[in-house]
Amino acid sequence: GQQLNQSPQSMFIQEGEDVSMNCTSSSIFNTWLWYKQDPGEGPVLLIALYKAGELTSNGRLTAQFGITRKDSFLNISASIPSDVGIYFCAGHFTGGGNKLTFGTGTQLKVEL
């Protein structure tokens, strides 16, 4: 099946720092999404991307749909303690029905 490789696996940063993470695939995707999971909860959608090259922001979060359609990036500016959690990328490819493929997640920890 499709696989999404997400990196880094975990990050430990200082409050106020910017954060970057990415997701790569061996196959072309036509939709990329980014989710955040708080401890003890289910993932929540942050950003959805639908076109190659698209750059979309949601507050301090900015995500990009890679031009090759095989990758996506998420940046968080000026991190705060509530940014702690697991960030998942997810993708949909043509012929995948209404199913998403999820990445392995990036665990973000913020030091005050």
Partner 1 sequence: DAGITQSPRHKVTETGTPVTLRCHQTENHRYMYWYRQDPGHGLRLIHYSYGVKDTDKGEVSDGYSVSRSKTEDFLLTLESATSSQTSVYFCAISESAGNYGYTFGSGTRLTVV
**Interface ranges with partner 1 (CB under 8 A):** 1, 4, 6, 31, 33, 40-45, 48, 88, 90, 92, 97-100, 102-105
User: Smallest distance, Å, CB 40 to partner 1?
Assistant: 7
CA geometry: angle 103, 109, 59, nearest 5 deg: 75
CA distances from 12 to 16, 68, 96, 109, 110 (A): 12, 29, 34, 5, 6
Closest CB to partner 1 among residues 15, 38:
38
Least Cβ distance, residue 51 to partner 1 (angstroms): 14
For residue 98, the minimal CB distance to partner 1 (Å) is 5
Q: Distance between CA atoms of 41 and 32, rounded to whole angstroms?
A: 22
